[in-house]
Each structure stands twice: as structure tokens, then as C-alpha cells.
Amino acid sequence: MKFADITGWGKCAPPAKLTNEDLSTFLDTDDEWIVSRTGMKERRISHVPVSDLAYVACAHALAAAGKSADDVDLIIFGSCTVDQVVPNAASRVQQLLGADNAACMDLNTACTSGMYGLSVATAMIRTGSVKNALVVGAEVTSVLMDWSNRDVAILFGDGAAAFFLETSDEKAGVVAESLGCYGKNRDILDVTGWGAKYANQGLTLGETQWNFDGQEIFKRAVVGMSRACEKVLEKEGMAKEEIDLVVPHQANLRIIDALAKRMGTGEEKVYINIQRYGNMSAATAPMALVEAIEEGRVAPGANLLMPAFGGGLTWSAHLLRWGSRIAPLGTSEVELPPCDKTGLQLIQDIVAAKKTAGA
């Protein structure tokens, strides 16, 4: 039987930071509330389009796998904030990398897009459709945020993280997953002004309004992720004690704590980086895994459990068995252009540009 080992990994965190103090300069909020309710301290704001973040993350993932752009069979771009719908975002990454032999698709399941992307790539590799794939979760939510709404504006940040997967005879990579969606509850995370439906309604596309029931999402996130974790462990016939590290979607530290409590997992077995980035939607869980590897939290042969949830309300849990290598084979010199603005200045630019567009 074939598997799809993850042999390369890379990330791109845009340099401009937006701190809780920055947010409190234009919203009725403060550091104490944000830290105690979410665990977030700062997040990144991108000065470039989402495809550029994805390109940098993919270049690093390819180098870590010791591959060149010509080798890539498939690029999956997981995101709900793609630069353009036509042409798709994966084709932009192909163009920037020069990965001319790759098939290219975008995939949107909101915050779970990177993880659903791993499932699709794994299945295509295991069935022999492709020999390898680059999967990137990337998001620039900042341009579509309603920066006047403190309920949501504090929660999100920008970023990208990517993996290179290749066919393997060893049992490695995603070994099982549980995927689903609470479509009946899709309205509790609903953003107007973001999609073709709004083009004929006299709205400025990108001028968004977030209809967001935080408490309901919170509850369904905890229940959905814990059920998905139980299901995936049962599928693989694995006891939760055999999990070496839980690398969850990072939407709220209290959601992660509640999930760990339900599963009886000690905090030393849960990877957390929400304090640095907030919720980067599709990039979140992939970025957490990349940083867990970089920080030496993932050992060769480790069993990793990755629960996630997002708008839709999509939910997922992936069981990964890490392969034999935890050091990158190479590094890439690809990097973002310099940014001479602070996160706060970038937000002010976004708000001003929308005012001009709507005037």
C-alpha cells in the first residue's frame, strides 16, 4: 500500500505585527480582555497579496524536501481569501515557482482549507493520480475584515504554511482523517460582501459585514473537534494515550483548553502558537505543525493529531504519522519584499482604500 509522506515544510509570516495595544487604539477593547478571552497577544498583517505569502512558504517546503519546482505534480491552495477567483491562486504559485508540470487547484473550506488540502493531496498520491503535491494553507483576512467590529477584528491575522507530500512505501503522512460539516449551522459564521452573490446587490465587494455568533461557534468547535478526534482514533484503532502531540487549529486558547480537557490530554502534549499569530484561518493548523517541527516538538515516527474547524461550519481531525526526517534537506532564499509599515499603518491603509472605493 502506498502512503503520502510529508517530506518538506515551510512557512511565511509577514513581518508587520498588530498588537492588542494597537487594536485598542481604534476599537473599544484592551489587552487584558483579548488575552484572557482568546490567548492572543499579536497577529501579522500582510503587505503583499496572499499568493506571495503562499509562494514563499511553498519555496521553503520544496527546498526542505530537496526538490526543484520541475518535480511538482500538483499544487493545492487552501484559502478563502484568494487574490482572484479566475485565474485561481494555485496557478499564481505555479507561475512564481516555475512549477510548469503541476496541476493547480484552489480549495475553500474556510479555516480547515489547509487540512482538507492535505486530505485531497494524500488521497490523490495514494491512488496514484499524482506522485507528489505541494499543499499550502494561506490567508490574508486583513483585507476582508470589518475593522470597526471588535467582536471579530481582534481574532484574525495573516500568514501561510506549506507542505510537500510524496509517495512512500512507509506508513507516513496522513494515515486517517475524519471530515464533516455542520451545514445546518452555516449562518452563525456568515460574511456579507464577500462573494459573487453580492455583486448585484449594490454592495462594494470587499466591504464586509461579519455576522458572527462567537459563543455558538465556540460550542460547536469544541464538540465538532472532539467528536472528529474520537472518530479518527477509532478508525485507526489507536488509543489517545498513543498520541505524541496534538496540533490543533488555533482560534481561541479556551477552545483548545476545553478540547484538551474533554480528551484528557495534558498541556505538555498540545502545541500552541496562538499568542503570536491569532487565527490565520487556513494557515493556522499548517503553521502550528511547521513551528512544532522547527521547535523540535515532533520526533521521527511521532503520532500527531490535528483537529480543526471553520466557517461552514466545517470540522476535521487528521491523524499523522511523522516520517523519518525532521531536518530540512535544504533551504530557500526566497523571501518577501521588505515592509516599511507597521501593522497598524497597513490596517489604516486598508480602511482608507475601502472608504475611497465606496465613496
Q: Does 29 contact ligand UT7 by CB under 6 A?
A: yes
Q: Does 79 contact ligand UT7 by CB under 6 A?
A: no
Q: How far is the CB of 202 from ligand UT7 (least distance, A)?
A: 28
Q: How far is the CB of 250 from ligand UT7 (least distance, A)?
A: 9
249 annotated active-site: yes
Number of residues that bind ligand UT7 (CB under 6 A): 17
Nearer to ligand UT7, 12 or 251 (CB): 251
Q: Does 33 contact ligand UT7 by CB under 6 A?
A: yes
Strand, helix or coil at 82?
coil
The b/e string for 110-125 (b: 16+ C-beta within 10 A; e otherwise) is bbbbbbbbbbbbbebb
Q: Distance (Å, rounded) from C-alpha 359 to C-alpha 68?
A: 47
Catalytic: which of 20, 88, 279, 303?
279
Q: Binders of ligand UT7 among 116-175, rule CB under 6 A?
A: 150-151, 154-155
Stretch of 31-39, 123-131, 293-301, 346-354 contacting ligand UT7, by CB under 6 A: 31-39
Neighbours of 352 (CB within 10 A): 10
Q: Work out which of 111, 143, 233, 290 binds ligand UT7, going by CB under 6 A.
A: 111
47 annotated active-site: no
Nearer to ligand UT7, 225 or 304 (CB): 225
- Kind and range of the H or E element at 22? helix 20-23
Q: Does 294 contact ligand UT7 by CB under 6 A?
A: no
Task: Print the binding letters for residues 334-353 with ligand UT7: x by CB under 6 A, - otherwise.
Answer: --------------------
Q: Does 81 contact ligand UT7 by CB under 6 A?
A: no
Nearer to ligand UT7, 171 or 261 (CB): 261
Task: Specify which residues 103 forms β-bridges with.
Answer: 74
Cβ–Cβ under 8 Å, residues 137 and 338:
no
Neighbours of 21 (CB within 10 A): 13
Q: Binders of ligand UT7 among 266-285, rule CB under 6 A?
A: 279
- Kind and range of the H or E element at 25? none
β-pairing, 74-78 vs 42-45, is unpaired
Q: Work out which of 20, 38, 81, 119 binds ligand UT7, going by CB under 6 A.
A: 38
Catalytic: which of 47, 60, 249, 318?
249
Name 26's Cβ contacts closer than 8 Å, sequence gap at least 6: 147, 347
88 annotated active-site: no
Q: Binders of ligand UT7 among 183-242, rule CB under 6 A?
A: 214-215, 217-218
Q: Does 6 contact ligand UT7 by CB under 6 A?
A: no
- Kind and range of the H or E element at 75? strand 74-78
Q: Does 310 contact ligand UT7 by CB under 6 A?
A: yes
| Cell numbers standing for residue 12 | 511565511
The DSSP line for 199-213 is TTTTPPTT--EEEE-
Q: Distance (Å, rounded) from C-alpha 324 to C-alpha 345?
A: 44
Q: How far is the CB of 155 from ligand UT7 (least distance, A)?
A: 6
| Cell numbers standing for residue 49 | 497579496
Q: Does 37 contact ligand UT7 by CB under 6 A?
A: yes
Q: Distance (Å, rounded) from C-alpha 76 to C-alpha 306?
A: 19
Residue of 237, 37, 4, 40 whose CA lies nearest to 123 = 4
Q: Distance (Å, rounded) from C-alpha 293 to C-alpha 326?
A: 7
Catalytic: which of 111, 252, 303, 318?
111
Catalytic positions: 111, 249, 279
Contacts with ligand UT7 by CB under 6 A lie at: 29, 33, 37-38, 111, 150-151, 154-155, 214-215, 217-218, 251-252, 279, 310
